[in-house]
Amino acid sequence: MGLDRRDHRKPRGSVDELVSRAREGNARAVARLISWVEDEAPQLREVMAALAPYAGHAQIVGITGSPGVGKSTSTNAIVGELRKAGKRVGVLAVDPSSPFSGGALLGDRVRMQDHALDADVYIRSMASRGHLGGLAWSTPQALRVLDAAGCDVVVIETVGVGQSEVEIAGLADTTLVLLAPGAGDGIQAAKAGILEIGDIYVVNKADREGADQLRRDLRSMIALGQTVSGERPEGGWKPPIVKTEAHRGEGAAEVVSEIDRHFAWLVESGELERRRTRRVRDEIETIAVTALRRRWDGVHARVELDDLAAEVLAGDSDPYTAADTLLENL
Amino acid sequence: MGLDRRDHRKPRGSVDELVSRAREGNARAVARLISWVEDEAPQLREVMAALAPYAGHAQIVGITGSPGVGKSTSTNAIVGELRKAGKRVGVLAVDPSSPFSGGALLGDRVRMQDHALDADVYIRSMASRGHLGGLAWSTPQALRVLDAAGCDVVVIETVGVGQSEVEIAGLADTTLVLLAPGAGDGIQAAKAGILEIGDIYVVNKADREGADQLRRDLRSMIALGQTVSGERPEGGWKPPIVKTEAHRGEGAAEVVSEIDRHFAWLVESGELERRRTRRVRDEIETIAVTALRRRWDGVHARVELDDLAAEVLAGDSDPYTAADTLLENL
């Protein structure tokens, strides 16, 4: 998919044509649509309207974990299992780390070499690039493209740092949290709040010393977390812990079977609809808020945010009054 | 500061009274105002209006770094130096890790015991607690309270994970990034994007093996980052690297002198005004957006976000059209 990102500036085929080629599974068409998402191309509005009737088929699986736990290797193994089951798979590797420099550290093609030549696996890296709205804006729209393009499963993989994994968990139907023995991952896990987002926990590098201890710690922390937070629905899902050795595919089948079991629970409990409603709410909100931000920075804005900020800085106003003025003048 | 968080529910003194006591440096009054921020108390609006004329005095210093680099110890040593210079200091320890369970892992009183009895050091931990707007909403308002209460310097300390340190950098006049030898911090630093936010880099645990190597790596990566990103202003600031051994105070004086040098540069270059304008813009925006979110979830909303989400989920609409509808009906 060595597509030139600037291709969309030349008019080559209408939006409808591109959308219908993407719907047929044409990888170049999918690539172009996702580049439009990354570039915030003006055609997106039309694209999303054309895709609307086809969305909602794909199962979204989030994979997160600290650096070095083996996320790419695990994704690779999981995709292998999904392919054995005949599923069409999309992989979105999201790099939330840098808001400025753009471009994921790992290119699309060096990742997951096992599946690079498989036409039924679409692999794409995305960086947040400091766009207005950042990943919260672009990731759901890229998911929407892959979903409408006929993927049965879309895997979003992201490094688990700070809020990023919470954001990814908000996008996924099922969230996998990966851990590995060593590096004090136990207590780090608690710090990073990942114990509250995992639907399935994977202890990778299970052949290493400390794997059993990590699993035990994890089990008690999950139990504790469920008691404290009360966030889980009543009669809810008890997150399983699966041990894997992803570099040799060990445990991947069990992970996929737990993903299926979780999905069945989601459907049955009504939690799938709740999660997807929340996801779409967030998506709509982010688009609306991004539009508003553009509006109050516009040269024709009746009240400009910069002027209000200057008043607050001078001590002549306060942020609440300024926010009121902003909203009154929308 | 063993203040009962529920105190504000009993009417005990007017907002004006509380604000003037906070202005006199009364720690209990400051504590109550910050609790109001955490609790999103309805009086905040009035508080912020009363504080407006007094804001803008404090110098805001952000301290961030991976877990285990010695952030608390470093903050402790830096506060010690600032106290020697006779400055009144506020410390805000922000825990961005958990959006759900609430409460920072470390309590206010166990932290920084050197300064626990010093009336001119105010120490407070905050967690994001899953509020609408989260830390982006509460941290600037807590800063505003400490600023107006007469702190000369406010230190915001946060664990450097994902976007959290970028958010904190957005709030600070001067951002310190802490690193320590070992744990592959070099490459992690690049991943986490912290090389793009630091005004001053501190290599702590400088007596350990690898400290010089880390400093060299850091120096070349900073140089590279400045070339690539082009984010820094022309004729700009060249981030220094200071070596410290915070547990015995070694290097803290140099850190504080670099903070002063950076602040002088900020004033002279006009960058201080740019940063503070951006900070206030973000603050106003966050309050406005939070108010909007409440509005479109309200029982009397003309168009409810949930209904729009349901249409999109059913494939009858798309997120852009839904966002348009939302905005038209504000």
DSSP code, position B246: G
Q: Which of A226, A303, A320 to mutate to test the interface with B (most CBs of B within 10 A)?
A: A320
Ranges A7-16, A229-238, B194-203, most confident? B194-203
Burial of B110 (0-12, 13-18, 19+ CB in 10 A): exposed
Chain A partners within 8 Å of B101 (Cβ): 193, 196, 225, 228-229
Give the closest of A159, A190, A280 to B309, CB-based: A280
- pLDDT at site A103: 36
Q: Is B183–A188 a contact, with Cβ atoms under 8 angstroms apart?
A: no
Residues 99 through 158 of chain B touching chain A, CB cutoff 8 Å = 99-101, 105, 140-141, 144
- pLDDT at site A112: 55
Residues 236 through 255 of chain A touching chain B, CB cutoff 8 Å = none
Burial of B301 (0-12, 13-18, 19+ CB in 10 A): middle
Give the closest of B183, B184, B322 to A284, CB-based: B322
β partners of residue A181: none
Confidence of residue A1 (pLDDT cuts 50, 70, 90): very low
Amino acid sitting at position A199: D
Give the closest of B97, B193, B327 to A193, CB-based: B97
- Min CA distance, A253 vs chain B (Å)? 31
SS3 content of chain B, % helix, strand, coil (to 5): 50, 15, 35
Over the stretch B293-312, which tens digit does the pLDDT of each residue have? Answer: 888 877 666 678 889 999 99
- Name all domains of chain B by residue range, CATH numbers in brackets: 1-53 (no CATH), 55-269 (3.40.50.300), 296-328 (no CATH)
Nearest C-alpha in A relative to B98: A193
What is chain B's mean pLDDT, rounded? 80
With CA atoms as reference, report the closest residue to A73 among A181, A165, A178, A168.
A178
Residues 158 through 197 of chain A touching chain B, CB cutoff 8 Å = 159, 161-166, 183-184, 188, 190-193, 196
- Min CA distance, A119 vs chain B (Å)? 27
Give the closest of A105, A231, A312 to B284, CB-based: A312
- pLDDT at site B230: 46
Q: Look up tokens 């981030």; give the residue.
A: B239
- pLDDT at site A194: 66
Give the closest of B51, B54, B166 to A99, CB-based: B166
Per-residue pLDDT at B96 exceeds 70: no
Per-residue pLDDT at A98 exceeds 50: no
Q: Which of A125, A284, A326 to mutate to test the interface with B (most CBs of B within 10 A)?
A: A284
Per-residue pLDDT at B259 exceeds 90: yes
**Contact criterion met (CB below 8 Å) for B293 and B287:** no
Return the higher-pLDDT residue of A156 and A134: A156
- The percentage of residues in chain B with a pLDDT greater than 70, rounded to a whole number, is 75
Q: Is B313–A280 a contact, with Cβ atoms under 8 angstroms apart?
A: yes
Please give the average per-residue pLDDT across A150-164, as a whole number: 80
- pLDDT at site B120: 81
Q: Look up tokens 């009086």; give the residue.
A: B43
Q: Is A323–B54 a contact, with Cβ atoms under 8 angstroms apart?
A: no
Least confident segment among A99-113, A253-267, B58-72? A99-113
With CA atoms as reference, report the closest residue to A156 among A145, A166, A169.
A169
Residues 23 through 52 of chain A touching chain B, CB cutoff 8 Å = 44-45, 48-49, 51-52
Please give the average per-residue pLDDT across B127-131, as a whole number: 54
With CA atoms as reference, report the closest residue to A191 among B103, B3, B143.
B103
Confidence of residue A272 (pLDDT cuts 50, 70, 90): very high
- pLDDT at site A39: 84
- pLDDT at site B114: 64
What is residue B13's three-state secondary structure? Answer: coil
Please give the average per-residue pLDDT across B112-124, as a whole number: 72
Determine contact: B305 vs chain A, CB below 8 A: yes
Please give the average per-residue pLDDT across A6-13, as a whole number: 48
Over the stretch A44-65, which tens digit does the pLDDT of each residue have? Answer: 999 999 999 998 999 999 998 8
- pLDDT at site A260: 97
Gap between the Cα atoms of A271 and B303, Å rounded: 24
Provide the edge-to-edge strand list for the sheet that holds B174-179. Answer: B121-127, B89-95, B153-159, B59-65, B174-179, B200-203, B241-243
Q: Is A101–B225 a contact, with Cβ atoms under 8 angstroms apart?
A: yes
3-state secondary structure chain A: CCCCHHHHHCCCCCHHHHHHHHHCCCHHHHHHHHHHHHHCCCCHHHHHHHHHHHCCCCEEEEEEECCCCCHHHHHHHHHHHHHHCCCCEEEEEEECCCCCCCCCCCCCCCCCHHHCCCCCEEEEEEECCCCCCHHHHHHHHHHHHHHHCCCCEEEEEEECCCCHHHHHHHHCCEEEEEECCCCCHHHHHHHHCHHHCCCEEEECCCCCCCHHHHHHHHHHHHHHHHHHHCCCCCCCCCCCEEECEHHHCECHHHHHHHHHHHHHHHHHHCHHHHHHHHHHHHHHHHHHHHHHHHHCCCCCCCCCHHHHHHHHHCCCCCHHHHHHHHHHCC
Q: Is A277–B225 a contact, with Cβ atoms under 8 angstroms apart?
A: no
Confidence of residue B86 (pLDDT cuts 50, 70, 90): very high
Runs of H (alpha helix) within chain B: 15-23, 27-39, 44-51, 71-84, 134-148, 164-171, 185-192, 211-229, 252-269, 271-295, 305-313, 319-328
Residues 49 through 78 of chain B touching chain A, CB cutoff 8 Å = 49, 51-56, 67-68
Residue B93 C-alpha from the chain's centroid: 8
- Min CA distance, A245 vs chain B (Å)? 23
Least confident segment among A138-152, A233-247, B125-139, B242-256? B125-139
Nearest C-alpha in A relative to B326: A288
Query: Which secondary-structure segment (H or E) carries B105?
Result: none
Return the higher-pLDDT residue of A100 and B306: B306
- pLDDT at site B2: 37
A32 phi, psi to nearest 5 deg: -65, -40
Q: Is A225–B101 a contact, with Cβ atoms under 8 angstroms apart?
A: yes
- The percentage of residues in chain A with a pLDDT greater than 90, rounded to a whole number, is 44
